C-alpha cells in the first residue's frame, strides 16, 4: 500500500476538517495555532507534499523560489490569494487553489452587521450602557442613519457582493454596483450597473467593498475617491484592508465627509490600526467575516476536495 501524501496544515482548522484530513493524509499540524515565518515555511517545505495554509502565511516571490521541489500543491483555506505570488508559484510548477462559494453568506452577514452597527452608532451605544453612563433619553438622543430607502453601492458584484445585495434588498435599499463586467439580468435583480467606480461613488449613500486586492485595486479608496462620495456616506469593508488608504479614511472621518465606517479588515493584520479606536463612529471587527462553524467546516472541506482531486490525478475545481 502506497504511503499517504504528507500534508502540512499551517493553522488549527475545524475539528471536522482535521478529522477528515487524517483519513487520507499524514498530517502535520501545529495545534498551538501559531503564525509561521517565511523561514519556517521554507524549512517545512522539504518535509511535505502539500500545504494547506491560511491567509496568514505569505508565499512571496522569495518564498516561492526557495520552496523545496517536493511541494506540489498549495490548497488555500481562503478565497483571497493576495498572500500568494501566483506567477512565482506557477513558475515552480506548484498548483494553487482557493475556497470560493462557501463563505459568501457568512461574509455578507458580517457586512450587514458592520453597516447597521456603523449607521446606528452601535459602538457609542454599547459603551454608554456597558459603562453605566446611560442616564438620559430624549427624541434627539443617539439619532443615527437609517438604511431603508437609501442607496447601497457595491464594488465587486461577485458571490459575496450578490449575497450582500440580496440581504440589503430586505431593507428596501436601492442597489448600485460596479463590476469588471455587467451581470446577466437574472443576477442583477434590478441592481443598477455603473461602468466605472468613479461613476458609482457619487450615488453611494452606503459603500460596501467586495473586490479582491490586486495591484489595480490596492489603495483605490483614496482621498480623491472619498471626496466623490455623498456627504455623510458610510463605508463598509469586509474584503481586504489593502483596498483602503487608511490615512485618507481617517481624514474623511475627521472632516465629517464620512458619517461612519464599518471595518472587518485592515492594512495591518493582526492588530489593525489603533488610530481608528479614537472614533466611536468606526465599528470594527477582527477579520471574522467567515468565522462561523458551518463556514469553517465548508472551507476546510473545499480545500481538502481540491487536494483529493490533485492527488487522484484530476484537476482541482478551484485551481487558479
Q: Are residues 59 and 111 in the same domain?
A: no
Is 230 inside any structural domain?
Answer: yes
Q: CA-based Rg of the chain, rounded to a whole angstrom?
A: 21
Is 108 inside any structural domain?
Answer: yes
Residues for the chain: how many in total? Answer: 320
Q: Are residues 218 and 255 in the same domain?
A: yes
Is 318 inside any structural domain?
Answer: no
Q: Which of 40, 174, 269, 280 is the catalytic position?
A: 269
Based on the residue annotation, tell me whether 240 is a catalytic residue of this protein: yes
Q: Are residues 16 and 69 in the same domain?
A: yes
Is 300 inside any structural domain?
Answer: yes
pLDDT at 1: 42
Q: Which of 225, 287, 296, 302 is the catalytic position?
A: 287
Based on the residue annotation, tell me whether 225 is a catalytic residue of this protein: no
DSSP single-letter state for residue 276: G
Is 319 inside any structural domain?
Answer: no
Based on the residue annotation, tell me whether 180 is a catalytic residue of this protein: no
Q: How many domains does the chain have?
A: 2
* Distance (Å, whole) CA 116 – CA 105: 17
* Distance (Å, whole) CA 288 – CA 292: 8
Q: Are residues 231 and 209 in the same domain?
A: yes
Residue 153's domain spans which residues? 104-284
Q: What is the pTM of this model?
A: 0.91
Q: Are residues 307 and 272 in the same domain?
A: no
Q: Which of 240, 246, 296, 302 is the catalytic position?
A: 240
Helices (H), the chain: 15-24, 38-44, 61-66, 86-91, 104-119, 122-130, 159-169, 185-188, 197-200, 223-228, 246-255, 293-311
* Distance (Å, whole) CA 192 – CA 179: 11
Q: List beta partners, residue 283.
A: 262
Q: Are residues 131 and 271 in the same domain?
A: yes
> Tens-digit pLDDT profile for the chain (320 aa)?
458 999 999 999 999 999 999 999 999 998 888 889 999 999 999 999 999 999 899 999 999 999 999 999 999 999 989 999 999 999 999 999 999 999 999 999 999 999 999 999 999 999 999 999 999 999 999 999 999 999 999 999 999 999 999 999 999 999 999 999 999 999 999 999 999 999 999 999 999 999 999 999 999 999 999 999 999 999 999 999 999 999 999 999 999 999 999 999 999 999 999 999 999 999 999 999 999 999 999 999 999 999 999 999 999 999 99
Amino acid at each position: 500500500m502506497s504511503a499517504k501524501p504528507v500534508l502540512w496544515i499551517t493553522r488549527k482548522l475545524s475539528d471536522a476538517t482535521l478529522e477528515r484530513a487524517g483519513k487520507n493524509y499524514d498530517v502535520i499540524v501545529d495545534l498551538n495555532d501559531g503564525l509561521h515565518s517565511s523561514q519556517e515555511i521554507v524549512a517545512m517545505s522539504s518535509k511535505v507534499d502539500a500545504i494547506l495554509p491560511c491567509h496568514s502565511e505569505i508565499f512571496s516571490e522569495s518564498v516561492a523560489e526557495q520552496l523545496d521541489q517536493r511541494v506540489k500543491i498549495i490548497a488555500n483555506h481562503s478565497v483571497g490569494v493576495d498572500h500568494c505570488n501566483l506567477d512565482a508559484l506557477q513558475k515552480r510548477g506548484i498548483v494553487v487553489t482557493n475556497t470560493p462559494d462557501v463563505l459568501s453568506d457568512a461574509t455578507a452577514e458580517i457586512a450587514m452587521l458592520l453597516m447597521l452597527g456603523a449607521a446606528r452608532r452601535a459602538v457609542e451605544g454599547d459603551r454608554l450602557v456597558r459603562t453605566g453612563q446611560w442616564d438620559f433619553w430624549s427624541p434627539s438622543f443617539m439619532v443615527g442613519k437609517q438604511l431603508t430607502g437609501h442607496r447601497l453601492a457595491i464594488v465587486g458584484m461577485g458571490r459575496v457582493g450578490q449575497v450582500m445585495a440580496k440581504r440589503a434588498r430586505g431593507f428596501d435599499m436601492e442597489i448600485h454596483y460596479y463590476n469588471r463586467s455587467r451581470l446577466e439580468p437574472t443576477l442583477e435583480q434590478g441592481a443598477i450597473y455603473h461602468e466605472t467606480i468613479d461613476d458609482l461613488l457619487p450615488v453611494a449613500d452606503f459603500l460596501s467593498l467586495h473586490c479582491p486586492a490586486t495591484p489595480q485595486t490596492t489603495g483605490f479608496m483614496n482621498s480623491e475617491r472619498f471626496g466623490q462620495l455623498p456627504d455623510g456616506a458610510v463605508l463598509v469593508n469586509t474584503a481586504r484592508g489593502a483596498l483602503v488608504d487608511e490615512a485618507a479614511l481617517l481624514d474623511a472621518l475627521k472632516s465629517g465627509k464620512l458619517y461612519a465606517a464599518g471595518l472587518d479588515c485592515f492594512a495591518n493584520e493582526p492588530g489593525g490600526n489603533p488610530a481608528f479606536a479614537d472614533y466611536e463612529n468606526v465599528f470594527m471587527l477582527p477579520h471574522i467575516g467567515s468565522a462561523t462553524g458551518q463556514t469553517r467546516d465548508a472551507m476546510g472541506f473545499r480545500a481538502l476536495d481540491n487536494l483529493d482531486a490533485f492527488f487522484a490525478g484530476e484537476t482541482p475545481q478551484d485551481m487558479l
